[in-house]
């Protein structure tokens, strides 16, 4: 699964949902609203960032040894 494709699909679905109940009679206002929606007013670009707020913990092997993670996690998450 590509997270960016998923994001785009969610935005498209939301755009369809939002557009389904917008019925503007004035051509100038409808044109302006359509332009704003096409420009992404309600759905900003994806944001990727690091979150340093997490406290470092044990490695996968250690968490398996402690019984926190299932034993198959060693092979699943092996580097």
Provide the pLDDT for residue 79.
67
Q: Is 0.75 topped by the overall pTM?
A: no
64/35 Cα distance (integer angstroms): 53
38-66: pLDDT as tens digits: 888 888 887 777 777 777 778 888 889 99
Domain shared by 35 and 4, yes or no: yes
3 state DSSP class of 2: coil
Provide the pLDDT for residue 23.
92
> How many CA atoms within 13 Å lie on the side-chain side of 40?
8
Better-predicted residue by pLDDT, 32 or 2? 32
- Quick one: average pLDDT of 25-49? 89
- Which residues touch 48 (CB under 8 Å, ≥6 apart)? none
Domain shared by 43 and 55, yes or no: no
Structural domain including 74 reads 51-79
- CB-based contact 46:36 (threshold 8 Å): no
Domain shared by 69 and 31, yes or no: no
Domain shared by 4 and 27, yes or no: yes
Domain shared by 10 and 44, yes or no: yes
Domain shared by 41 and 60, yes or no: no
Count up the domains in the chain and report the number: 2
């Amino acid at each position: 699964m590509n997270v960016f494709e998923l994001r785009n699909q969610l935005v498209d679905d939301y755009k369809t949902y939002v557009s389904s109940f917008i019925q503007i009679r004035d051509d100038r206002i409808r044109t302006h609203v359509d332009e704003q929606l096409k420009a992404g007013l309600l759905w900003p670009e994806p944001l990727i960032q690091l979150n340093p707020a997490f406290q470092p913990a044990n490695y996968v092997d250690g968490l398996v040894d402690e019984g926190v993670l299932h034993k198959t996690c060693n092979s699943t998450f092996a580097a």
